[in-house]
């Protein structure tokens, strides 16, 4: 835990609360905030205070809880033994999985949409953050028409709940927008604002899938690195496999503890898929000293093209098709605790958000 402290003005920026609200919560929830007992000046706040105040704001502003209801929930989570105040305030954390590719046109977005639906049909609360900024098309494949997108959040001051759109099976979708060139080149402050809102979504779902753009731009790499695990999608095409290896190399340079798995798309059969995987994995083991996770493959299937043209996700429109069955197998692998779960950095998203918030407040970590 950082030893950083914040002024009330900084806490206002971090939590979205007014100073008067913070003082009100300080009085009403003093059993949980305990400012004076922590030996801090009345005008200084630490990371625990920021996390607890953010949680209180979410319960009251977003979920409409009463003061008594909030006290009951805080009392319950604070009874968890051995947890820090900040950890107890974070009642729920989703598993965040980025899906990326070195080359465009390899079926990354199709995989994201169908994974989300397959997970939702297994009882998971699923969110999609379409981070292919300015070129987002998850909503097209899902057959939905969002009224608002990320440009409204970043440029017009909309809140997360204003732009979230509900898709099939109750999945929650945030669209990156189309034809908005500025979104592809966010400033640092815009990226921080975006990630702060992502943190709120991440608390409300079990699995958050991030559909990054293709290539190795800064936005693609950062959004991929923020996740607990990364799925790299490729085809058997030699350029696609070369680009897949390149993005794997860069991601490992950014985070040696990354958990990266590979999906081979549009392959002829299992043996073709294994050949693609072993080709890339052999390079990773030789040059990067890293073994990739084999998450499975998706067979070349005309049903995929038909479903996309009709804006009807494959796992819903043709669940018995060969490609849909492959996607179900990939979900089995992803949900297996022993196969594709990053146990080396279990709270990477929370730590990221904390670092961003400290940076926003002008306090070094």
pLDDT 10s digits, 317-356:
999 999 999 999 999 999 987 778 876 654 444 444 443 3
Burial of 329 by CB count in 10 Å (0-12 exposed, 13-18 middle, 19+ buried)?
middle
Give a yes or no: residue 353 inside a domain: no
Of 174, 227, 169, 230, the C-alpha closest to 201 is 174
Indicate whether 101 and 84 sit together in one domain: no
Question: Which letter does DSSP use for residue 178 in this model?
Answer: B
Give a yes or no: residue 299 inside a domain: yes
Indicate whether 161 and 296 sit together in one domain: yes
CA angle 32, 6, 42 (to 5 degrees): 55
Indicate whether 79 and 113 sit together in one domain: no
Q: What is the pLDDT of residue 288?
A: 95
Q: What is the pTM of this model?
A: 0.69
Of 334, 298, 320, 310, the C-alpha closest to 116 is 334
* Domain around 278: 95-348
pLDDT digits (tens, 9 = 90+) for 120-151: 999 999 999 887 765 668 888 898 887 887 77
Indicate whether 272 and 304 sit together in one domain: yes
Structure tokens at 262: 């590979």
Indicate whether 182 and 57 sit together in one domain: no
Indicate whether 150 and 44 sit together in one domain: no
Tell me the CATH number at 228: 3.40.50.300
| Rg for the chain, CA atoms, rounded | 21
Give a yes or no: residue 362 inside a domain: no
Indicate whether 64 and 173 sit together in one domain: no
Task: Mark which of 91, 119, 140 sits at the end of a domain.
Answer: 91
Indicate whether 236 and 321 sit together in one domain: yes
Indicate whether 120 and 79 sit together in one domain: no
Residue 39 Rama label (left phi>0; alpha psi -120 to 50; beta): left
Indicate whether 311 and 237 sit together in one domain: yes
Indicate whether 40 and 109 sit together in one domain: no
pLDDT digits (tens, 9 = 90+) for 35-87: 433 333 455 777 778 888 888 888 888 777 888 888 877 776 665 534 444 44
Residue 95 has pLDDT above 80, yes or no: yes
Task: Mark which of 46, 62, 91 sits at the end of a domain.
Answer: 91
Give a yes or no: residue 361 inside a domain: no
Task: Mark which of 91, 124, 141 sits at the end of a domain.
Answer: 91
Tell me the CATH number at 18: 1.10.1660
Please count the structural domains in the chain. Answer: 2
Indicate whether 36 and 106 sit together in one domain: no
């Amino acid at each position: 835990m950082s030893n950083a402290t914040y002024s009330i003005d900084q806490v206002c920026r971090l939590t979205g609360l007014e100073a008067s609200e913070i003082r009100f919560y300080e009085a009403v929830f003093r059993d949980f905030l305990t400012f004076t007992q922590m030996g801090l000046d009345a005008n200084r706040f630490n990371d625990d205070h920021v996390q607890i105040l953010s949680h209180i704001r979410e319960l009251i502003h977003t979920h409409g809880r009463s003061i008594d209801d909030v006290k009951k929930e805080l009392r319950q989570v604070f009874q968890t033994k051995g947890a820090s105040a900040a950890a107890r305030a974070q009642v729920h954390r989703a598993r965040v999985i980025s899906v990326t590719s070195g080359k465009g046109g390899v079926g990354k977005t199709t995989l994201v949409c169908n994974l989300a639906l397959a997970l939702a049909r297994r009882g998971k609360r699923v969110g999609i953050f379409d981070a292919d900024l300015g070129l987002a098309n998850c909503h097209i494949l899902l057959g939905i028409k969002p009224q608002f997108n990320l440009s409204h959040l970043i440029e017009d001051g909309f809140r997360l709940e204003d732009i979230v759109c509900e898709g099939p099976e109750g999945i929650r979708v945030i669209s990156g927008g189309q034809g908005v060139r500025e979104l592809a080149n966010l400033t640092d402050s815009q990226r921080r604002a975006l990630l702060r809102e992502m943190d709120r979504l991440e608390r409300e779902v079990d699995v958050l899938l991030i559909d990054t753009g293709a290539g190795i731009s800064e936005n693609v790499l950062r959004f991929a690195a923020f996740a607990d695990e990364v799925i790299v999608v490729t085809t058997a095409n030699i350029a696609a496999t070369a680009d897949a290896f390149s993005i794997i190399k860069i991601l490992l340079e950014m985070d040696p503890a990354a958990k990266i798995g590979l999906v081979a798309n549009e392959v002829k059969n299992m043996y073709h898929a294994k050949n693609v995987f072993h080709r890339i994995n052999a390079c990773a083991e030789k040059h990067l000293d890293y073994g990739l996770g084999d998450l499975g493959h998706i067979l070349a299937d005309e049903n995929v093209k038909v479903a996309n043209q009709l804006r009807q996700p494959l796992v819903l429109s043709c669940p018995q098709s060969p490609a849909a069955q492959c996607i179900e197998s990939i979900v089995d692998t992803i949900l297996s605790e022993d196969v594709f779960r990053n146990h080396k950095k279990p709270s990477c998203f929370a730590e990221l958000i904390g670092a961003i918030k400290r940076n926003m407040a002008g306090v070094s970590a």
